[in-house]
Structure 1
Amino acid sequence: MGDQETLPYHYVTTDINHWYVVIKQGRVEKAKEMKKKVEKEFSIMEKNEDVAIYIQLLNLRHQLMLSYLEPDSVEGIEKAYKDVKRTKKNLAPDSLTNIIEFYYHFFSGMYHFRTKDLVVALTYYRDAEKYLDLLDNEDDTHKAEFYFKIAEVYYYMKETHFSMNYAQHAYSIFKEQKDKDGNLTYGKQMVQCQFVIFGNWLDKMCYEDALETAEKALNDAVKIGEQHLIGSAHFNVGLCYNHLEELDKAEKHFQKAYEIHREQKHLYESKAIFNLAYVKAKQNDLKTATALYKEGSIVAYRHKNQEVIEKLKLVKGMYLSFDLNILKEVFKFFKEKCFYGDMEEYAVAVAEFLTKRMERHEAVDFYQMAIEARRQIQRGKHLDAK
């Protein structure tokens, strides 16, 4: 390779940064285009370790984006993560810049959030946060993205105050990002922040605020025209009506969410079909619930979504075959994964179901599980990340 073909690394970093911007914006085709361009440039670039690991990190981030937006096109996400881990391990301590350290911990947290290892994800996010204020960058969108992602973890862990605070902070930053014509450039991310805020209102049992937020997010998603966002927005409205015990309205929105996510082959297809099956079972439409349970199992295995695989057992164990051993398997999974929010919610649901069946002795066991889950949440047990 002749010297005239060698590119200076600072030339390539401009395209790398552009690649990351379009990843953050969820512009899949543009991200794919920039990925190819960067990889081609890197092959003729002068050697630079920081740029090399930066590209590895963005490849992991790229794969994480695709795992949500185009799950069937994702290849080697585990390999991408292992490559980053191996490279980081082989580098000398304190040899990386603050921005690389931030991205390493941030993207590693995102990877473990995707695999539902919430405690591990939070550990990485906390390490990433140590570098956040050290970054010499006028662009606040990396901070907004971080605030949103950590808000997601805290939401799943039912740390409502932390989650709401981070989500609102992220939303306020995204809201300020506009192009030269005054159009929002992070509208999709604003909707995603609304999803987290909605979920926290729901957990606080502020159902009017939750429904208002969910419906606003649905309207905003429709304006943007992103199908996976519209599907998720319908899903959230359905969740709200489910909590309000307006099951017909919940079914309508879960059905719409499932149809959209199925068409898109989106990761949330499995979540939607579980909730649809659960609602149909609660409506005592067991024939439809059975069909949805079978279909949902296939979908969840296809997406390798262990959380939904386990949750579908709630439908089977309560409504389709009534098997306490199956139900106990689900709660063992919740406990192992520190899913104390789910553990509390569904333990109460199972206990109430058993009480109606006059199975009061068994119901007490599940009420105790709910109490224990609530105790763990209040203690912050799931936040003891190391």
Structure 2
Amino acid sequence: MLKPELIPYHYVSLDINHWYVAIKKGWVPIAEAMKEKVEKEFENMEENDDVAVYIQLLKLRHELMLSYLHPDSVTNIEKAYKNAKQAKENVAESNLTDLIEFYFNFFTGMYHFRTRDLVDALTYYRIAEKHLDLLEDQAEANKAEFYFKVSEVYYYMKETYFSMNYAKRAYAIFDRQDKVDEKPTYGKQKVQCQFVIFGNWLDKMCYEEALDTANKSLTDAKEIDEKHLIGSAHFNVGLCYNQLEELDKAEYHFQRSYDIHKQQGHIYESKALFNLAYVKAKQNDLKVATALYKEGNVVAKRHENQEIIEKLKLIKGLYLSYDLNILRETFKFFKKKSLYGDMEEYAVAVAEFLTNKEKRHEAVEFYQMAIEARRQIQRGKHLHEI
């Protein structure tokens, strides 16, 4: 029996590129179909190390996409990461192109961001950026995607200047591309950039700018009718009102966010639940706060969202049972994961709560945690300037 003729790798590369476009756009059915097509073509493709590694990298990127859109159906991220890493290690470093080096470090950074290992994520992003500068034919939209992902990790590390800079660069490219294309297709990406810009305004305590940005992103999300983005935009408006201590308005938007994300079964429903429970606890509605706390734990465990599981301990330890040892567990988690922004914010909140209860000795411990977190953030800024 004759063997089938080998498929030239450049033909498969075209389908790989279509697959990547579908991933970036979040077009799950198309991405799934292209993934299956590429895998079948690869079985009969002429040997090419770059394509072999690239396919494994896109499998990782594919799983990362699914982990955000359909978190309860995803179990293969760790396996995909190991396979991508092994595929790269099987090829001599001198034979790897800048394109492969860029995507390996970019997607590995995304993987570590997904697991909230922020320092590792940033390390790989910075390596990826060096290769990005060497890619003369790199599409503007790909650069924008990279800038956006970098802005996310800087945001979580509370590196406001860097985060805002990258988010605005990404937004400008997406907006420029929409004006060039006959049919605008980057509305979703522009809203996501607005989310990061909003978060940075909030961190800078520029509440008027933050609320304006949050409301604009809500309007834009409704215009493109993206349910997940609408839910996330409501969440951001709620965060702003929470900071302004307008708790009734905050509760309304957190509830809207939760309703939307619950309907979709999205991982963000656990974030909305935590914040809703936190607001109800601050309103001293402990009966409702207790019910939301219990529901939040169930939802967070279902999504395997360790960050929210730990944050829920803040509500239990401070409002429901008053156990500072439970609170300390959360701050150990923040420190381990380099979540110094959260560490500072919640340490100050806990310290102020304890001070108001005239437990000043206990408050000092948490003020010291906030100071330590601020020092780590400042130290990080100096490191990034090297």
**Which residue pairs with 2:176 in the alignment?**
176
Q: Is the 8 A contact 2:198 2:214 kept in 1?
A: yes
Give distance in 2, aligned partners of 1:52 and 1:179.
36
- Amino acid across the alignment from 2:15: D
**Which residue pairs with 2:161 in the alignment?**
161
Change (3 A) 1:200 1:250: same
**Which residue pairs with 1:147 in the alignment?**
147
Post-superposition offset of 1:6: 2.0
Post-superposition offset of 1:40: 1.6
**Which residue pairs with 1:265 in the alignment?**
265
Unaligned runs of 5+ in 2: none
**Which residue pairs with 2:255 in the alignment?**
255
Give distance in 2, aligned partners of 1:170 and 1:108.
20
Q: Secondary structure at the match of 1:245?
A: coil
Q: Is the 8 A contact 2:159 2:381 kept in 1?
A: no
1:38 aligns with 2:38: yes
Q: Is the 8 A contact 1:300 1:306 kept in 2?
A: yes
Give distance in 1, aligned partners of 2:384 and 2:180.
45
Give distance in 1, aligned partners of 2:137 and 2:281.
52
Post-superposition offset of 1:9: 0.5
Give distance in 2, aligned partners of 1:95 and 1:151.
31
1:68 aligns with 2:34: no
Q: Secondary structure at the match of 1:46?
A: coil
Give distance in 2, aligned partners of 1:384 and 1:138.
25
Give distance in 1, aligned partners of 2:367 and 2:216.
35
Alignment of 1:230-309 (within 5 A): 230-309=230-309
Change (3 A) 1:249 1:266: same
In the alignment of these two chains, the number of paired residues is 386
Q: Is the 8 A contact 1:119 1:383 kept in 2?
A: no
Q: Secondary structure at the match of 2:309?
A: helix
Deviation sequence 1:322-370 (CA, Å, 0-9, x none)? 0011111111111111111001100010011111111111011111111
- Amino acid across the alignment from 1:221: A
When the two structures are superposed, what TM-score results if normalisation uses the length of structure 2? Answer: 0.97
Post-superposition offset of 1:80: 0.2
- Choose 258-267 or 201-210, whichever is displaced more: 258-267
**Which residue pairs with 2:22 in the alignment?**
22
Unaligned runs of 5+ in 1: none
Give distance in 2, aligned partners of 1:172 and 1:87.
35
Q: Is the 8 A contact 1:376 1:382 kept in 2?
A: no
Give distance in 1, aligned partners of 2:259 and 2:96.
46
Q: Is the 8 A contact 1:175 1:190 kept in 2?
A: yes
Post-superposition offset of 1:377: 0.9
**Which residue pairs with 1:90 in the alignment?**
90
- Choose 27-36 or 186-195, whichever is displaced more: 27-36
Give distance in 2, aligned partners of 1:189 and 1:382.
30
| Aligned-residue identity in percent | 73
Q: Secondary structure at the match of 1:37?
A: helix
Deviation sequence 1:87-109 (CA, Å, 0-9, x none)? 22222122111111000000000
Post-superposition offset of 1:73: 2.3
1:199 aligns with 2:199: yes
Q: Secondary structure at the match of 1:235?
A: helix
Change (3 A) 1:157 1:383: farther
Post-superposition offset of 1:75: 3.1
Q: Secondary structure at the match of 1:237?
A: helix
Task: Tell me which of the two structures has the higher relative contact order, counting C-alpha pairs closer than 8 angstroms and 6 or more residues apart.
Answer: 1
Post-superposition offset of 1:4: 4.6
**Which residue pairs with 1:127 in the alignment?**
127
Change (3 A) 1:205 1:2: farther
Q: Is the 8 A contact 1:338 1:382 kept in 2?
A: no
Q: Is the 8 A contact 1:67 1:74 kept in 2?
A: yes
Give distance in 2, aligned partners of 1:342 and 1:382.
20
Q: Secondary structure at the match of 1:177?
A: helix
- Amino acid across the alignment from 2:108: S
Q: Is the 8 A contact 1:228 1:261 kept in 2?
A: yes
Give distance in 1, aligned partners of 2:5 and 2:95.
28
- Choose 181-190 or 202-211, whichever is displaced more: 181-190
Q: Is the 8 A contact 2:188 2:224 kept in 1?
A: yes
CA RMSD of aligned residues (A): 1.8
Give distance in 2, aligned partners of 1:156 and 1:173.
22
